[in-house]
Structure 1
Amino acid sequence: QFIGPADMLGQGHGSRFIAQRMAALFAGGAPAIGTDPDPDNARAIAAYRKAGFAVAGAAAEGPWGRYLPMVALKPGAAG
């Protein structure tokens, strides 16, 4: 799987992109955002955590493979 040049990895680009997208979704009225990375994809999970996501349940098997449910609540939202 190619996500970018090796020298661009680990620089925080992914979590910044995710945070920008989250801001747009929250500004548009979304009360929460979910994502479901592969539980073995430590780099993706770290980027989501850095952007504000938290694990929302145990890793599970779905129609497209294993996933780890994660959620981010709109700042100020009860949860």
Structure 2
Amino acid sequence: MGYTELLERKGELLKKTVENWVLKENRDGLNHQEAHIYRNMLKEFHQNEYELNAVRDEEAIKRQESGSNGKAE
């Protein structure tokens, strides 16, 4: 499993976890500790998305460069 796939899977898990926290917040409300965990989970989710996009951009640039090098030869 490559780094991109790892980040994608982590993102899926974080997204599902955040969804569960949102449902709990809407249904029962969150106490102070739960709200803290929820905020940290959101931060981790956004960080993961940022990292995943950066990796995808790097891969796209590498593909473009290798594609243009292949045409030049």
TM-score by length of 1: 0.32
When you count helix as a share of all residues, which structure comes out higher? 2
Work out which of the two has the higher radius of gyration on C-alpha atoms and give 1 or 2.
Answer: 2
TM-score by length of 2: 0.34
Bigger RCO (CA 8 Å, 6+ sep): 2
